């Protein structure tokens, strides 16, 4: 199932989602001339360098180079694919997307999902109301109070209570007009022999929300003293909306903090998440009663490259940690582990030690390699030579996956010390394993974060792959001021292109790609005004660095308003670029001349001397024009 993204649809969505309004929901913007400026949401800064042009409907950060239109902003900020950004902006603008090639069953499924969202939203409000108002919820309120959950946290997480009644929620939903069939599909109700009945009864309710803050499922906990005949926790069954392997509890509240801190923290349960958030650790999430899955790992990777595991310090917790480490590492996340004392969990640790102690614990978290070494060593009887050899082999397997050679060397020394084996022998075995072809990082899922690390030790790594949104050696940073000014003025006033179109050649520019942009500007300038020119240029450019340059030129165009004589300025830029080109040519010829003089090639010396004189004469003519502008106006 999908929808066709036409140019007309994109323009309608763009026109009904003003960039300044969308960005303003995330960034505090202030007026500065024609632009709006604020602190960049894509990198940490104290002085605003993020600029939004309401006229051009483009943004550009002069600090990190992040740039684009309203679709780019939503994609970069929310970590969405283009189609997802289109859906998000269409929903924001109230635009109904036409589904193409949708079968009747697909249409029914889509409409059912919409109805299930309505049911879940209503159910969450029902549970919340019962917790706050019902006399039957006294035990639930007492339980949450005993666990230290504040009223503010209970409201933030929309905690509720399902009363100990057979079909209270079902009756409410039926009265609201929902059919029994669709209510059953919600997973909130089951069909009994005589009638339907509520799944959640006499339980504290934890609504489960996706990254878009939609309620997709529920978790329920029994109240203390209710016996052991039923499971302590239950979740909604799998539905059209809910798949527990694809959702993380608390991700709706944590995602912005995860992006800001560039790190997520994973705990085991609902109460751990709530307690952490209540103590200021708002980048904390939890899986839903299972080991972490690939889908959950990829969800975290959308928001940050690093994750800290903070599972319970019991045997089950350690086993879960080891499974999660491998999965997270394979998906390309940088993994660390914070170790709790035996019998402790994040909630109890915070109650006993406070937020500062947990902060210290998180900051001192061991990385994946150190943790794996510690686990291997602690589980081994080092007095047994064969067991020590097996532990050494397992440690070597962990070490060959370390990309950075210096880091690998340091952890090799650490492992040798922990294993009580000869450091030189052990290190040699590690490097031998690496040379055998088990190249560090081969088992990593490639992504923009692991490529950054990989390139630090592999000069052949693609530099293009290192570009995070707006980061890296932006093309604009390679241009001279004259090039930036000339291209910016033509983009702002296309009629100026004719003044220099025939005066500049490829060697006049810093790179072939910049010359290509210049040629496109000149070609498109003959077709329309600046607004049409900008759209036409962006439609022709696929290279991200070139698009970024156009965004910067467009957003920075307001600085050109102070130019009193645009024609003179464009010609000055062209003359300056030509003077530099000729100067570079003279320097190159002089180097060739010295080589010819060393070899005694008289004919080549004569030809090079003539070329140098011609270039020097041309440079003098250019300089004369630069000092006497009336000659070429």
Q: How far apart, in whole angstroms, are the C-alpha atoms of residue 17 and residue 90?
A: 8
Q: How far apart, in whole angstroms, are the C-alpha atoms of residue 401 and residue 390?
A: 18
Q: Look at 118-127, 519-528, 575-584, 617-626 and tell me which has the smallest mean pLDDT.
A: 519-528
Stronger pLDDT, 282 or 94, i.e. the higher one: 282
pLDDT at 600 over 90: no
Q: Look at 100-104, 173-177, 235-239, 528-532 and tell me which has the smallest mean pLDDT.
A: 528-532
Q: Are 331 and 445 in contact (CB under 8 A)?
A: yes
pLDDT at 442 over 60: no
pLDDT on residue 128: 97
pLDDT on residue 346: 93
**Spatial CA neighbour of 44 closest among 59, 68, 30, 61:** 61
What number of CA atoms fall less than 13 Å from residue 309's CA on the CB side?
A: 31
Structure-block tokens of residue 184? 């059953």
Domains and CATH numbers, the chain: 2-99 (3.90.580.10), 104-235 (3.90.980.10), 251-364 (3.40.1360.10), 475-627 (1.10.860.10)
Q: How far apart, in whole angstroms, are the C-alpha atoms of residue 93 and residue 101?
A: 24
pLDDT bin (cut points 50, 70, 90) of residue 70 is: very high
Ordered DSSP codes for 284-323:
EEB-SSS---HHHHHHHHTT-SEEEE---SSHHHHHHHHH
pLDDT on residue 382: 92
Q: How far apart, in whole angstroms, are the C-alpha atoms of residue 514 and residue 511?
A: 5
What does pTM read for this prediction? 0.64
pLDDT digits (tens, 9 = 90+) for 146-199: 999 999 999 999 999 999 999 999 999 999 999 999 999 999 999 988 889 999
pLDDT at 329 over 90: no
Give me the chain's average pLDDT, please: 84
**Spatial CA neighbour of 89 closest among 160, 25, 165:** 25
pLDDT digits (tens, 9 = 90+) for 473-526: 456 677 888 888 888 888 888 888 888 888 888 888 888 888 888 888 888 887
pLDDT at 444 over 80: no
Residue keyed to tokens 């199932």: 1
**Spatial CA neighbour of 577 closest among 530, 542, 625:** 625
Q: Look at 52-56, 350-354, 464-468, 572-576 and tell me which has the smallest mean pLDDT.
A: 464-468
pLDDT at 469 over 60: no
Q: How far apart, in whole angstroms, are the C-alpha atoms of residue 83 and residue 465?
A: 22
Q: List, in order, residues 6 or more apart from 411 with CB less than 8 Å away.
A: 369, 370, 373, 399, 402
Q: How far apart, in whole angstroms, are the C-alpha atoms of residue 141 and residue 164?
A: 14
pLDDT bin (cut points 50, 70, 90) of residue 119 is: very high
**Spatial CA neighbour of 625 closest among 579, 586, 581:** 579
Residues linked to residue 30 through DSSP beta bridges, in sequence order: 37
pLDDT on residue 473: 43
pLDDT at 115 over 70: yes
Averaged pLDDT, 6-18 = 85
């Amino acid at each position: 199932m999908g929808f066709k993204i036409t140019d007309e649809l994109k323009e309608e969505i763009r026109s009904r989602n003003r960039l300044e309004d969308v960005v303003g929901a995330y960034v505090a913007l202030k007026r500065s001339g024609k632009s709006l400026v604020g602190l960049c949401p894509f990198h940490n800064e104290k002085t605003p360098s993020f600029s939004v042009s309401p006229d051009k409907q483009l943004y550009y950060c002069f600090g990190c180079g992040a740039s684009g239109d309203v679709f780019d902003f939503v994609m970069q900020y929310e970590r969405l694919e283009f189609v997802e950004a289109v859906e998000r902006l269409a929903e924001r603008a109230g635009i109904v997307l036409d589904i193409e090639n949708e079968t009747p069953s697909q249409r029914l499924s889509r409409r059912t999902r919409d109805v299930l969202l309505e049911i879940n939203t209503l159910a969450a409000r029902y549970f919340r109301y019962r917790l706050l108002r019902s006399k039957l919820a006294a035990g639930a309120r007492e339980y949450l109070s005993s666990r230290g959950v504040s009223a503010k946290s209970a409201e933030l997480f929309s905690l509720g209570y399902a009363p100990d009644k057979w079909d209270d929620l079902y009756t409410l939903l039926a009265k609201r007009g929902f059919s029994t069939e669709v209510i059953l599909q919600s997973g909130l109700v089951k069909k009994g022999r005589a009638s339907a009945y509520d799944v959640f009864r006499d339980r504290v309710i934890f609504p489960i929300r996706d990254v878009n803050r939609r309620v997709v499922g529920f978790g329920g906990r029994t109240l203390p003293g209710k016996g052991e005949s039923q499971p302590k926790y239950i979740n909604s069954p799998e539905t059209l909306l809910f798949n527990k392997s694809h959702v993380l509890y608390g991700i709706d509240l944590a995602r912005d903090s995860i992006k800001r801190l560039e790190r997520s923290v994973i705990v085991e349960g609902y109460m751990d998440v709530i307690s952490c958030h209540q103590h200021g650790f708002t980048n904390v999430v939890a899986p839903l009663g299972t080991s972490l899955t690939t889908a959950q790992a990829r969800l975290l990777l959308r928001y940050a490259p690093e994750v800290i595991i903070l599972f319970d310090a019991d045997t089950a917790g350690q086993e879960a940690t080891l499974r999660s480490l491998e999965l997270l590492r394979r998906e390309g996340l940088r993994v660390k582990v914070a170790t709790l004392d035996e019998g402790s969990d994040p909630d109890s640790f915070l109650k006993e030690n406070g937020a500062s102690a947990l902060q210290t614990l998180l900051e001192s978290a061991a990385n994946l390699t150190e943790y794996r070494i510690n686990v291997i060593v602690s589980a081994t009887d080092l007095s047994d030579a064969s067991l020590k050899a097996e532990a050494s082999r397992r440690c070597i397997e962990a070490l060959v996956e370390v990309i950075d050679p210096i880091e690998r060397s340091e952890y090799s020394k650490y492992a040798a010390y922990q294993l009580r084996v000869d450091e030189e022998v052990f290190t040699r075995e590690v490097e031998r394993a690496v040379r055998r072809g088990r190249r560090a990082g081969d088992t990593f899922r490639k992504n923009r974060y692991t490529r950054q690390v990989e390139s630090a030790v592999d000069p052949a790594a693609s530099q293009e792959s290192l570009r995070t949104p707006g980061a890296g050696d932006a093309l604009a940073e390679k241009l001279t001021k004259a090039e930036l000014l000339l291209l910016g003025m033509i983009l702002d006033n296309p009629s100026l292109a004719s003044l220099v179109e025939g005066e500049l050649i490829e060697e006049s520019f810093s790179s072939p790609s910049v010359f290509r942009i210049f040629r496109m500007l000149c070609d498109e300038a003959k077709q329309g005004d600046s607004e049409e020119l900008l759209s036409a240029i962006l439609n022709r450019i696929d290279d991200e660095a070139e698009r970024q340059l156009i965004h910067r030129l467009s957003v920075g165009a307001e600085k050109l308003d102070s130019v009193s004589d645009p024609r003179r300025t464009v010609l000055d830029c062209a003359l300056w670029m030509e003077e530099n080109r000729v100067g570079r040519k003279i320097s190159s010829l002089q180097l060739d001349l010295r080589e010819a003089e060393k070899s005694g090639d008289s004919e080549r010396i004569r030809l090079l001397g003539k070329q140098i004189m011609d270039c020097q004469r041309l440079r003098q003519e250019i300089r004369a024009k630069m000092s006497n502008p009336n000659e070429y106006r």
